[in-house]
Amino acid sequence: MTREEYRAQKEQKERQRARQKRARETERETLEAAKGRMDIPFLLLTLLLTAIGLVMVFSASFPSAYYESGNPAYYFKRQAIFAVLGIVAMFVVSKFAYQRWRGAAKILLGFSVFLLILVIIPHVGITVNNATRWLGKQGVFTFQPSEIAKLGVIVFFADSISRKRDKMQTWRYGIWPYLAVLGIVAILMMLEPHLSGTILIVGTGVVMMIVGGIKTWLVAAGVGGGAAAAFLYVKLVEKGIISYGSSRINMWHDPWLDASNEGYQMVQSLIAIGSGGLLGVGLGKSRQKFLYLPEEHNDCIFAIVCEELGLIGACVIMLIFALLIIRGFWIALHARDRFGALLVVGITTHIALQTFLNIAVVSGLVPATGISLPFFSYGGTALALQLFEMGIVLSVSRQIPAPKNG
């Protein structure tokens, strides 16, 4: 070995040791930062929504629970168990450095796609109301793979987008890969079919791409194209050219046209909302929950909220949701790194979209899509996963640098 080769080899080893030292220092700093204080306002808002949601599940569900099982607390007990498990998971996840999720991004997305494929295989998925969206054993334990797919897409997009920076301006690296992922997930979910879940995942993914730095004109073109497509779809349904979703569009326009059949749920929901007035009929005193309003403890639970707590109570709950969402975006703005910011943006956007769409559907602002209200609607695995996601946000908040004095 010549002297020059020996010197080059020595310099290479020194550079390698320096990189390893920097990596160890970064790891140590990350672990130390992860021991910081979690965001208390976000935590309190999450716990408050969970507690109010449990109360409303019990209030909305006890007539149907008694009718179906003889136990008026049947749904409440199951929801409470998952709430406790979810809160424990939230605190545990908040203790871990969120950077660990980078290594699980591709695995989680692949697992989500696998479950989405599995659920549409005949005799594997569970079918309810002509939709095959569940896996598990009916009556014992079921879950929707779409709930896991939401988290899988968020983590994968956050990891991938955070690495690209200026490359997000290009079609090859910043557009096509993400559209391909969203397209695959959307096709699999529409085969179930699951329109509301598809809207949530695609909407969240698009928002993360926008925050990630895609070109502004693409954003404008996408919004304009989406609005034009929705308008065209509604017009084609009205003219009878497209039959899929026609009943939903017609009942959205005027549910009283078929108040005893296709428009029944919307009519009963509007009656519940109108019956509440300004102050409501009182907690636990709803009349529509006595087997009049379908899905009263699930998709339509906000209608029961309006009936029992009135306009003022419903506005207070919407305000709490708004504060949670605003605080989530505040955490994203102050996150330690780009990956953490994108994680929180994805999770917060998902909660915001789901909340808005549920309230919009229940109040007749948009056509029915069968979407649940976060922290309120009955569904144990969905609630546990939502609290799990809140734990990730709290994990990011632990590493927000403390403000400098002066």
Domains in the chain: boundaries: 38-398
Beta strands in 17-138 (DSSP E): 126-128, 131-137
The mean per-residue pLDDT over the stretch 247-253 comes to: 77
CB 313 within 8 A of CB 277: no
The mean per-residue pLDDT over the stretch 119-123 comes to: 87
Q: Which of 164, 155, 143 is CA-nearest to residue 110?
A: 155
Structure confidence at residue 19 (pLDDT): 67
Q: How confident is the model at residue 406 (pLDDT cuts 50, 70, 90)?
A: very low
Q: Decide if pLDDT at 405 tops 50.
A: no
The mean per-residue pLDDT over the stretch 36-59 comes to: 96
Range among 135-149, 190-204, 253-267, 333-347 with highest mean pLDDT value:
333-347
Bridge partners (DSSP) listed for residue 219: none
Between 61 and 221, residue with greater pLDDT: 61
Q: How confident is the model at residue 244 (pLDDT cuts 50, 70, 90)?
A: low
Structure confidence at residue 28 (pLDDT): 60
Q: How confident is the model at residue 124 (pLDDT cuts 50, 70, 90)?
A: confident
**Cα distance between residue 229 and residue 221, in whole Å:** 12
**What is the token pair recorded at 348?**
């917060």
Q: Decide if pLDDT at 25 tops 60.
A: no
CB 46 within 8 A of CB 94: no
Range among 116-120, 160-164, 319-323 with highest mean pLDDT value:
319-323
- Length of the chain as a residue count: 406
Mean pLDDT of the chain: 88
Other CB atoms within 10 Å distance of the CB of residue 392? 24
**Cα distance between residue 79 and residue 169, in whole Å:** 44
Q: Decide if pLDDT at 310 tops 90.
A: yes
Range among 3-17, 132-146, 244-258, 375-389 with highest mean pLDDT value:
375-389
Q: Decide if pLDDT at 107 tops 80.
A: yes
SS3 assignment, position 138: coil
**What is the token pair recorded at 326?**
């605003």
Residue 330 CA to its chain's centroid (Å) = 18
Q: Decide if pLDDT at 7 tops 80.
A: no
CB 350 within 8 A of CB 371: no
Structure confidence at residue 294 (pLDDT): 92
Between 23 and 275, residue with greater pLDDT: 275
Beta strands in 74-172 (DSSP E): 126-128, 131-137, 141-143
Please report, for residues 88, 129, 269, 355, 363, the alpha-carbon distance to residue 360 in angstroms, rounded to integers and kept in the order given. 31, 22, 12, 8, 5
Structure confidence at residue 24 (pLDDT): 60
Structure confidence at residue 129 (pLDDT): 73
Structure confidence at residue 221 (pLDDT): 83
Pairing, β 131-137 against β 141-143? antiparallel
Q: How confident is the model at residue 403 (pLDDT cuts 50, 70, 90)?
A: very low
Structure confidence at residue 277 (pLDDT): 94
The mean per-residue pLDDT over the stretch 378-383 comes to: 92
Percent share of the chain, pLDDT over 90:
60
The mean per-residue pLDDT over the stretch 170-192 comes to: 91
Q: Decide if pLDDT at 54 tops 70.
A: yes
Q: Decide if pLDDT at 194 tops 90.
A: no
Between 251 and 375, residue with greater pLDDT: 375
**Cα distance between residue 63 and residue 79, in whole Å:** 16
Tokens 């990596």 belong to residue: 23
Q: pLDDT tens for residues 57-91?
A: 999 999 999 999 899 999 999 999 999 999 999 99
